[in-house]
Every structure is written in C-alpha cells, then in structure tokens.
Structure 1
Amino acid sequence: MSKIRNIVSVLLITAVLAACSSGGESGGEANGSTNEGAAGELITLRLSETQVDDYPDAVAIYEFADRVEELSEGSITIDVYTGGQLGDEVTTIEQTQTGIIDIGRANTGPISQFVDDFGIFSFPFLFDSREHLWNALDSSLRDTLFTSLEEQNLVGLAFYDAGARSFYTMDPVENLDDLRGKSIRVMQNDILIEAFNELGVSPTPLAASEVYSALQTGVVDGGENNINTYVADGHYEVAKNFTTSEHLRIPGLLFMSKQSWDSLSEDQQEIISQAALESEETQMDEFDKYTEESERTAEEAGNNIIELSDSDRAQFRENVQGLYDKYEETYGDMFTEIENAK
C-alpha cells in the first residue's frame, strides 16, 4: 500500500507542477527543478508549504525565497507552492526525500514518523516555556536532530515556532480531573497517545479535516492545538472553552532534499543556510502577531479562556513521568540536553 501511495503521489504532483508551469503564478518546471549547479547557471528550486499565504510560516517562506535570490544575485530562484498544492505534510516529506520536491516545511510531529529522534517533541511538558524551547534548539540539540535527518535523505535548514498546544473542549476544563474520561482528538503519534492515556484521557486520532464535524456531532469532546489553529480551523465556533495547558511545543521544520543539497556548490549551500536561519526570526515575529489576532477573535466570540495554574501543570507533568522513564534509554541524552537548556 505504501508503494502504491507513493506512485499516486508522484503522479499527482507531476500533474500539479505541469499545470503550474503552464499558467500558474508559481511557475516552475514540470519535470524536475532547473538545477545545473555549475557557475553561472540559473538554478530553480521548488518549495512545498501546506499553509496559506498569510499564515506566519508561509510569510517566512516567501522572505526566505526572496533572500536566497538576493544573496545569490538572482542565480538561485525558489518557486513557492503554498496551500498544500504539492500535497500534505507527509507527502511533502516523502517527495522531498526523493528529490521530486527540493525544499519542504512540515511540523516535526509528522517528521517523527520518518526520523525517530524527532519523537522527542511528543513528550508533554518537556519545555517550560518558549524561551526554554529555543534555548534547546540553539544548543547541540539542533546538530543532533539535523544529523539524524541525513539518514533519511533530508537536510535540516531551520526551525519554525508553532506555539504551545493546549486543550479546547465543549465543557470547561480547569484541572486534570475535568479532563479525565474525555475523548480528545490527537495527532497520529504513538508517544502522544501513550501520554494522553497516562492522563486518563481517551485519545482519538483523527485527520485535521475531520475535527470540526467530530466536535459538532459529539464524536469527540475536544481537541488540542495552538490557539492560531483553534481559530483558523473554526474549532472555536463549536468548542467554546480553551484551557492554556501548553502541554506541547512541537516546532515546524524547514528542510531540503539531500539530493538537491548535494548538487549545490558550497557557496550556494551557504546562501541557502543563511537565508533559512534568517527566516526563523521573521516567522516568530509573524507568529506573535497572528497569535494576538487569534486570541482577540476567540475573546470577541465570547469564548472561555481558562488559565491553567502552575500547580495544575505540575500535576499533569507528574502523571506522565512514567512515559519519560519508559523512553529514557531512547531519548535520555536529549532529555539531558533539554534540561541543561533551561
């Protein structure tokens, strides 16, 4: 089935690229990027972004593409395909591995399906704050994770902020007891499902596109995500209670096909790397603005924003300690790196 899905994905992406090159705004070559790699040759790379144009990730992606063109004096052009034109995040990862897509951006949750080390972000209450997360990502942890990507034919370029994931529910949740027994939509992530079981929650994996109707019909009692997605996907319209548990911080990742990367000169690789790292700050600034707008939208809709106390967060963390103990052998070194980044 996996082979069939890959073949279908290739055919679909080829069709999209052909359509875009014949009249779409993104341009691009229908049958592979223009990438000669020799001095003086023009290089065109394709980048897949699942978010729409005005979302912080996409805004940062466009600036990254502009900066690459500027630093390369026009010799490297990046055609950006937003809104999932080239497929969802899993498809983007798969096709970047094979070089069909040159550059992709995905949440590190799906990436953990391909690279085990990225499962580190699935542990609830691992990071005390946004500052703690970025201290860790600016430490040796970044090198550890980027090195592990290469085994799956990917090259890490930059991390993007995705805020903190919190619970939103039909009924108010003010503490752990209020959450127990509730059916909560979660990503398809084995570690996360184990963690929610430890909390006494009934984790229900669903595709993102199915969550709104599942909330409406009572299939699930709630979900968990950052407030931007909570508002952007319309879930705030039906689940009126947002509890700031901030139990997960799962960043996004900008990555490149190793095949495409290896075809570039060292100077060209340096340009890509520099522009990507510069885009991190842009993305975080845009994410903060978007978050303020989302919070305002939820409040104006009359939604109940519940601030979870530090003591309640500590209780949540205590309830998943067994999960940390279970995976100590696998992730122990990274746990230590993250603890040292506080």
Structure 2
Amino acid sequence: MKRLRGKLVVVVSAFVMAIGITGCSSAGTSGNAGNESAAKIGDQIVLKLSEPQVDEYPDSIAEKEFAKRVEELSDGRIKVEVYTGGQLGDETTTIEQTQVGIIDIGRANAGPLTQFADSLGVFSFPFLFDSREHMWNALDSSLKEELFTDLEKSDLVGLAFYDAGARSFYSTDPIESVNDVEGKKIRVMQNDILIDAFKKLGTSPTPLAASEVYSALQMGVIEGGENNVSTYVADGHFEVAKNFTLSEHLRIPGVLFMSKQSWDKLSEEDQGIIKEAAEESEETQLKEYDEYSQTAMDRVMESGNNVVELSDEERAAFKEKVEPLYEEYDSTYGDLFQAIEDAR
C-alpha cells in the first residue's frame, strides 16, 4: 500500500450466550448503543465498532470511512455501526469486550494491547524507529503478520495499524540535549520497559495517571512529561510546560482489531471485505492525523511556546543512552528488533 510520507470482562447470562446475541453492559455505554452485537437482521450482518476517541479524532473519521467501504464492498450486506466517544468503554474495556465477542471490532493503542500479545511490547523501546516512514515500512513487512498472529492467540484478529504520532518531551525548563534530562522528574506511562529506559537516560521516571499530570506540572511535583503534540495540547499540558522538544523517541501505533468469535462467523469472502476496507482506512487515518497534528502544533506556536528541534548528533546521544536496554531484552525481542532494522 502506498503510504503518506514523513510522517471487567462483562458477565453475560447463559441464556444470552446460548442464543448467540451478547449484551453490552459497559459503564460507559450510552442508552442508544443497543444491546445486540454481531447481530444478523435478515440477510444483513450488523457489526459494532467501539472507538474511545471523539467523533472528530482521526481514528473515528477513518473508522467511519471503513464502515462506509464495508457496506459498499458487501453491497449493503454488512453494516458496521461505529460508536465513538467511549460509548462502549475505554481502550481496556474495548479490548476485553472484543476479546469475548461482546464488541465485534475495537481500536486501542498497542500499549494496552501488550498484555494480550507480548510481541507488541516491542513498541515500548525508545528510538526504535528512525522516522515515521521507517515505522510504516516495518508495519508493511512480515512484521505485521507476526504481530497479528500473536494477537490472535488472545482471540483478537488484527485488521490494521493506525498512526498515533511520535511521543516527545515537554518540560517546564528547556530540554536541548541529553544532559538536560539528567535528574528531571519526568512523567511516564506505567510500563516497565519505559521506566527502565528513562532511568538509563538519567531521568527520575514518575508513573502517573494521565489525569494527574496537569496538576503535577503546575505544583512542581514533576518537571516534564512525554507525549505526542496532539495530546500535549488536548490535555492542556502546553499551558503549564512551555517547552516541547521534538525528540520523537517513541512511536506506538494504534491497532484496529476484531473479535475472533465474530470473525469466525463470517464467510471467507466477507472476511476479505473487512480486511480490504480496514487496510484502505489506514490511508484515511494517516491523512487525518497529519492535519490533526499540524493543528495542534500551530496552537503550540501561536501560544509562544519554545519548540526545540534536536540535531542528529543530540538525538544519537539520547539513543546511545538506551542501547543497553536492547541488549537486555534481546532474548525476548531480538527477532523483532532485526525485522525492524531490516525495514530501514
């Protein structure tokens, strides 16, 4: 596929399971979401898709195009109902409910999916990719099949990857070199590999819930964080941490996936339709994400924030600091590291 460059488990009654129609009882589900999943109305198959992000988010827009394309390719036999804004639950709930067949199709970041497919943990390694193009070259290679095969062991069928941008540092004081992160309290996700990596960079990694970051920056509990520019703006962190350093140290893609139970109910022809439409939706998502990110960066610049572009030498100095991490995890991820290296 041609690319744009640059760039819990809910308890279900035995009766409901017996008749093959599952209920959706997530606390986040709205009343208009209905109670049926993988329903068949006459000759039409109706599939539910759960998207935790809002309508205007690039993933949501791509999923609506996916739904439209599925309907076109199937001559109206398959209808995908897209529920955005977390109506059917957050990312973790979406994964769990899709895994057991309550939701037919879901989308989540590869981070939380790691607990269902160990191989997806490879995206937690900083400076794994040289660029966005490098990441997509890798995801378009045999690596994609390997990662999706691992996902299927947890009853989830991988359909497509979505771009989630590059994560960079933001801070109350400028970060212009690897020396500037020494001793800084940087908020990180609760992820053992990332925490270890940030220790190797010399920071004091501080795992916090996303909802706590703004006040922690405001009160000086932490001195910085790391995320993509869109989230930096959307969460308001650009208001209290005025320095954004384009380290682009992490690229963790999103994944569009389907319940194995729902997938197995489809004919081979219909499975092909779902796959084709999902892969086509990647292009829509990439285009929308570019525009979304640019809007966020424009907001940062208009606010007068300091945007730091690292030189190749400085970025290499950051990468050198985390090299030992790759050696420590070589027995687990060595083959994946090599596949990504080969995609350069």
Q: Name the counterpart of 1:19.
A: 31
How far residue 64 of structure 1 moved from its aligned partner, in angstroms, is: 0.6
Q: Name the counterpart of 2:231.
A: 229
Q: Name the counterpart of 1:6.
A: 9
Q: Name the counterpart of 1:324.
A: 326
Structure-2 separation of matches of 1:185 and 1:46 = 35
Contact 1:13 1:87 survives alignment (8 Å): no
Q: Name the counterpart of 2:38.
A: 33
% identity of equivalent residues: 65
Equivalent residue runs for 1:140-179 within 5 Å = 140-179=142-181
- Residue identity matched to 1:295: M
Structure-1 separation of matches of 2:296 and 2:28 = 32
How far residue 219 of structure 1 moved from its aligned partner, in angstroms, is: 2.1
Aligned residue for 2:39, secondary structure, equals: coil
Deviations 1:237-293 (A, max 9, x none): 111100000101111100000011001111110110000000001100011111111
Count of residues paired in the alignment: 328
Residue 306 (structure 2) pairs with residue 304 (structure 1): yes
1:46 aligned residue (45, 48, 54)? 48
Structure-2 separation of matches of 1:336 and 1:63 = 34
Distance 1:262-1:340 versus aligned 2 partners, 3 A rule: same
Deviations 1:269-320 (A, max 9, x none): 0110000000001100011111111111000001000011111111111111
Residue 99 (structure 2) pairs with residue 97 (structure 1): yes
TM-score by length of 2: 0.91
Distance 1:290-1:17 versus aligned 2 partners, 3 A rule: closer
Structure-2 separation of matches of 1:318 and 1:14 = 44
Structure-1 separation of matches of 2:279 and 2:143 = 16
Structure-2 separation of matches of 1:243 and 1:306 = 5
TM-score by length of 1: 0.92
1:183 aligned residue (180, 185, 210)? 185
Structure-2 separation of matches of 1:220 and 1:181 = 11
Contact 1:104 1:254 survives alignment (8 Å): yes
Deviations 1:28-54 (A, max 9, x none): x41433147xxx721111111111111
Contact 1:176 1:316 survives alignment (8 Å): yes
Aligned residue for 1:84, secondary structure, equals: coil
Structure-2 separation of matches of 1:13 and 1:206 = 28
Structure-1 separation of matches of 2:220 and 2:57 = 29
Deviations 1:82-105 (A, max 9, x none): 111111111111111011111110
Structure-2 separation of matches of 1:281 and 1:265 = 26
Structure-1 separation of matches of 2:82 and 2:179 = 46
Structure-2 separation of matches of 1:45 and 1:329 = 40
Q: Which runs of 5+ in 2 are unaligned?
A: 1-7, 13-21
Contact 1:14 1:30 survives alignment (8 Å): no
Deviations 1:177-213 (A, max 9, x none): 1111111111121111111111111112222222222
How far residue 12 of structure 1 moved from its aligned partner, in angstroms, is: 7.5
Contact 1:198 1:319 survives alignment (8 Å): yes
Equivalent residue runs for 1:262-277 within 5 Å = 262-277=264-279
2:296 aligned residue (294, 297, 309)? 294
Contact 1:103 1:254 survives alignment (8 Å): yes
Q: Name the counterpart of 2:117.
A: 115
Distance 1:8-1:297 versus aligned 2 partners, 3 A rule: farther
Contact 2:58 2:292 survives alignment (8 Å): yes
- Residue identity matched to 2:31: A
Bigger share in helix: 1
Contact 2:163 2:254 survives alignment (8 Å): yes
Q: Name the counterpart of 1:25.
A: none
Contact 2:185 2:204 survives alignment (8 Å): yes
Distance 1:12-1:257 versus aligned 2 partners, 3 A rule: closer
- Residue identity matched to 1:285: K
- Residue identity matched to 1:19: G
Contact 2:10 2:97 survives alignment (8 Å): no
Q: Name the counterpart of 1:26.
A: none
Structure-2 separation of matches of 1:229 and 1:8 = 33
Aligned residue for 2:9, secondary structure, equals: helix
Deviations 1:214-237 (A, max 9, x none): 222222211111111111111111
